[in-house]
Structure 1
């Protein structure tokens, strides 16, 4: 059985998965997807980063430094220090991967979801002896509506606001959510959206990979020509809304799209690229795992829920547990 513990990332034998920072003194690293909290790469020549081609291309949209990378497609086995790894799509964003170790001794989900979207199929549930599962929304309060129903509400809201000649401003993370919003704008609102520069480049990577989003244009002093604008959510604030209303000559109607709530009073839709509480439990149950390590978010609380609801050994994977975490 491969050894696993937390050491500046998830350490499987001598391979670090999603390093916390660039200081880990190892030579092999696996990056599960391109979000910045998972994709900390280094230009150090002695370090090699293994990832899907799509993840590499998305990282390159915001990180121009050179780093040693080995591109690994889905479902192609590869070995590092006698440990076998295999990638499976996680349904999170383009190129995002689950990892199967030694044919199922260990499965690491990283970020995933078990619902189809307009862009991707849901993640496959992999069989595992030991499961390392993300627990971002590992609290019972986080149960999301059916995605189809969220899409219907977005369509109804958007069309009504557009009918009133308002400028729609949609807030979504630059990699992942913004591409889904680009697709939704084309598919359900019949509008070509303007997109922020930090979204424009990832959109092009999605398109080149074969994931079709529909039409989109770069925001560049052309606000009056379009009815929908997609920007990163951290830019949405009252000052920006006022500036956009002055520039466009129209009222602005804005919304944020995220599993988290509480975005400064802005309207929000619970459109998440993560599994909710029920999906997390479903994965644990159907994976057949005998031991479970929870990671990120509500790790303690979710481990407790697994033990109580499913009767499965579970504990959080955390920085204080530096011994072999398979010693349940």
Structure 2
């Protein structure tokens, strides 16, 4: 069993991490939590303390605890680099929420430090286990579409009144929602040859914080992946569109885990995160005989807890990390290039 310590006890820790560990108590023990606001989530804190978790306000409490096998950093994004480096220097294995740093330079520093010290370092890329993404992976693997030509993936909302007047690039859509999409594409296709960027502040004009983005990633054999996010989508756009030489796949609905978690439906409960048949992706392709085949593809059930399964297997069994060092750095290279210049621009890698 691995002893885990958390730095941060806000919404993300309680919504996207801890519920999944309740199904994995044979593998993980929540030994410590460090938070600057003790008692802010009194009910959740009391429940963990009743099971033996120690709460405190100082990171040094974790650093000095030699029984801790893994520290999970779930703090504001601009603190990730500083806290993660402090933990690595102290000899701790770390999983850090996304984005793992504010730049490629910072990320490379962390990766090199972890490598030199023989420590585990990985970002919490939970959306590799989104239902819709897992289903897209299967469609691609099964070869229904032939050679891929275009892929479009969206992460859209309608939040017209939530724009920010002040802030930094790490608070914008590219480093927030975009990091998930970039990681998904990197996990499928690796590093592109060229990227084009269009980052804009659309709700509060002239804000330094982008809230809408489009990235085009160009690969060999005429393949392009388009990643888009907006906060002004009053009418839903497909989450995924894939077009290839043999067919097309379209999926509208996103993974249901986040919606269920927000409404209090927890992992392990009946129908948690299960896609309904009317939300299955639509596939049209032509087989080797030239017949047009049209069907709906049942969604693979997602499970963010599988990130923790992968961490356990790496630390206990020595399996490769879910997110490799090369993939971490590729993601951060693409993010950093996006904010390297103002306005639409092209970057060659």
TM-score between the two structures when normalised by the length of structure 1? 0.31
TM-score between the two structures when normalised by the length of structure 2? 0.29
